[in-house]
C-alpha cells in the first residue's frame, strides 16, 4: 500500500527563505503545500517555482487561523 505524504508550510513574506525550504521539504515528502497568508512580496511565486502547490489567502489570517483550511484542502494519507 503506497501512502502519499504531504507537508503544509504556512508563509508570510518569506521570499528570502521559502525556495530553499520547499526544495528541502520535497526531498522527504510527496507534496509540499505552501499557504501564503496574503504576503506582499514574492513568496507565492518563489514557492511555485520551487515546486510547491500554493494556496493564496485573500485576507491575512495568521498561522493558527488558517490551519483548518490547509488541512481541509490536503489530499494525502499523511500530513
Query: In the predicted model, what is the mean pLDDT of residues 31-55?
Result: 96
Residue 59, pLDDT score = 72
Confidence of residue 7 (pLDDT cuts 50, 70, 90): very high
Between 79 and 62, the more confident residue is: 62
Query: When comparing pLDDT for 4 and 43, which is higher?
Result: 43
Please give the mean pLDDT across all residues of the chain: 84
DSSP string of 33-79, one letter each residue? EEEE-S-SSSHHHHHHHTT-EEEE-SS--HHHHTHHHHHHH---SB-
Q: Is the pLDDT of residue 41 over 70?
A: yes
Amino acid at each position: 500500500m503506497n501512502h502519499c505524504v504531504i507537508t503544509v508550510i504556512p508563509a508570510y513574506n518569506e521570499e528570502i527563505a521559502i525556495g530553499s525550504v520547499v526544495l528541502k521539504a520535497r526531498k522527504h515528502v510527496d507534496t509540499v503545500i505552501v499557504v501564503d497568508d496574503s504576503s506582499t512580496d514574492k513568496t507565492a511565486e518563489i514557492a511555485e517555482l520551487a515546486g510547491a502547490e500554493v494556496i493564496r489567502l485573500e485576507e491575512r489570517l495568521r498561522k493558527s487561523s488558517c490551519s483548518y483550511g490547509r488541512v481541509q484542502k490536503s489530499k494525502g494519507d499523511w500530513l
